[in-house]
Amino acid sequence: MLLSASVPAWSQGSSELSADLPDARTMAVQAKVEQLFQAEDFRRAYFIYRNELSPIGDKYAQYMVGYMLLNGLGVSEDPVSASAWYRLAAERDTPEFVAVSNHLLQQLDENQVHQSNAEYFRLRSRYSDVAVVLASIKRNLSDLEGRTGTRIRGESSPITIVEPDRSRTQTADSYYGSIYRQLEERLLLLKEMDGFHDIDTDPTRFDIRELERRAQVRVESID
């Protein structure tokens, strides 16, 4: 019989990628979903863990998706999918996540393990650290190239940035400069990951196609 791991007591505050430390909105979403879970509004909690927090690399959220799948909380019980999510949550070798991941995987039969591998591969291609960071790099690159067709910053004409609760005015140089710095930070973060230690982190020189190729190799190397 499959055993259900208890909800962990450790904090999720440090679960974000270091290049995307949780902003006020993310922390508000984390607080909201915890309240929903404690209130046993499992369907809404599962939706937020699965669709809002897991895609940004929140390992605690990825663990909670697995936990809720394993126990049928707000979603149909599915130990195979739960195993795949547990494995994704454990990719940074966090001891608690590794322990629950290994424990569940050992309880699956051979056919279920093959199914878990297939699901784990699908999840890694979208929500692993490498995939999340690369997607962020590509968004930054698209923003920079969408302005002038190159990555080079140009004129400093004023532009208006519309935010959820207010609007504010920045110069184009300030706005695109912040994107440029984000891109540089994410390249440095990617460089820390296995298979990327020798990449060029200069935003004006790096090869996005080469990064995509290496990311594909990394994602496909299932342990």
Nearest to 128 by CA among 30, 195, 45: 195
β-sheet bridge partners, residue 167: 162
Reported pTM: 0.81
Token look-up 């809404």 returns 44
Tell me what pLDDT residue 76 has. 97
> What parts of the chain have a pLDDT lower than 50?
1-5, 9-16, 18-19, 152-157, 161-165
Which structure tokens are listed for 53? 């927090």
Tell me what pLDDT residue 23 has. 77
Token look-up 């055993």 returns 3
Tell me what pLDDT residue 169 has. 66
Residue 149 has, within 13 A of its CA and on its CB side, a CA count of: 0
Residue 137 has, within 13 A of its CA and on its CB side, a CA count of: 26
Tell me what pLDDT residue 17 has. 56
